[in-house]
Amino acid sequence: MAHEDDQHGQCLFEAPPMAEQERMIEAVLFASAEPVSLRELEARMPHGCDAGEAMVYLRKRYDGRGVQVVKVGDAYAMRTAADLGFLMQKETVEVRKLSRAAIETLAIIAYHQPVTRAEIEEIRGVSVSRGTVDQLLELEWIRFGRRKMTPGRPVTFVVTESFLDHFGLENARDLPGLKELRAAGLLENRPPPGSVPLLGDGDVDEETTEGQSELFED
């Protein structure tokens, strides 16, 4: 590596100590999305730094660790050690946004549980596809609840512990009601063009809340 120690002394500003330079390149490599070349590193570091020398120390420091400093072409990057790849499975899964239909179905189950499929369809105004329910069951966000004591004894759906876990809820009862959603700005109060807004929308919410707490009582 290029040794320019003799020049350091002639510098107007003294370069930071090598340990500090090592910290600097460590932080930059960590935070960069792309591999970084020595030239780029030096361009970012205070005047008189020697990224090459600091890199030697840094690479030695990470030798045998769970994270490695690897050379990629002319540049350097930090990577997890190849033998630990099996731990990274969670990073490799492709995370997709839940479809709108699934979110709405899930929301209805959370707010109205225990709820039957027919009730979900009534609230959504469209039929619920099998795939949607299957997906939510597979994610373990919903499960089958008790059968309803109505003709046909339909099964109901309820949300699971892992649902609460995922959404950071202690309790499905803590879900905000319509009025609260509106107050938080999550509910656009704009009626669709041409339709007449119904008055006294407050009652709707109260009913929901009451219904909810009633449903959740054990």
Binding site for its own copies (CB under 8 A): 22-28, 30-33, 40, 44-45, 64-67, 78, 80-81, 84, 87-91, 117, 129-134, 137, 143-147, 153-155, 160, 168, 170-171, 173-177, 179-180, 182-186, 202, 205-209
Residue among 52 and 154 whose Cβ is closer to its own copies? 154
Contact with other proteins (CB under 8 A) among 166, 183, 211, 216? 166
172 binds, among its own copies, other proteins, none (CB under 5 to 8 A by kind): none
SS3 175: coil
165 binds, among its own copies, other proteins, none (CB under 5 to 8 A by kind): other proteins
Paired with 77 in beta bridges are 70
Site for other proteins in 6-45 (CB under 8 A): 27, 30-34
Contact 35, 77 (CB under 8 A): yes
117 binds, among its own copies, other proteins, none (CB under 5 to 8 A by kind): its own copies
Distance of closest approach, residue 3 Cβ to other proteins, in angstroms: 26
Q: Does the N-terminal peptide bond of residue 114 adopt cis geometry, omega within 30 degrees of 0?
A: yes
60 binds, among its own copies, other proteins, none (CB under 5 to 8 A by kind): none
Site for other proteins in 58-77 (CB under 8 A): 68, 77
**Is residue 126 part of the contact set for other proteins (CB under 8 A)?**
yes
Site for other proteins in 80-119 (CB under 8 A): 80-82, 84-85, 88-89, 91-98, 100-104, 106-108, 110-111
Burial track 13-51 (b if 16+ CB lie within 10 A, e otherwise): eebbeeeebbebbbebbeebeebbebebbbeebeebbbb
33 — phi, psi (to 5°)? Answer: -75, -30
Q: What DSSP string runs through 31-87?
A: H-SS-EEHHHHHHHSPTT--HHHHHHHHHHHTTTSSEEEEEETTEEEEEE-GGGGGG
Contact 138, 144 (CB under 8 A): no
Distance of closest approach, residue 188 Cβ to other proteins, in angstroms: 7
Query: What is the number of alpha carbons within 13 Å of residue 198 lying toward its C-beta?
Result: 5
* Tokens, residue 83: 């033998």
Distance of closest approach, residue 20 Cβ to other proteins, in angstroms: 17
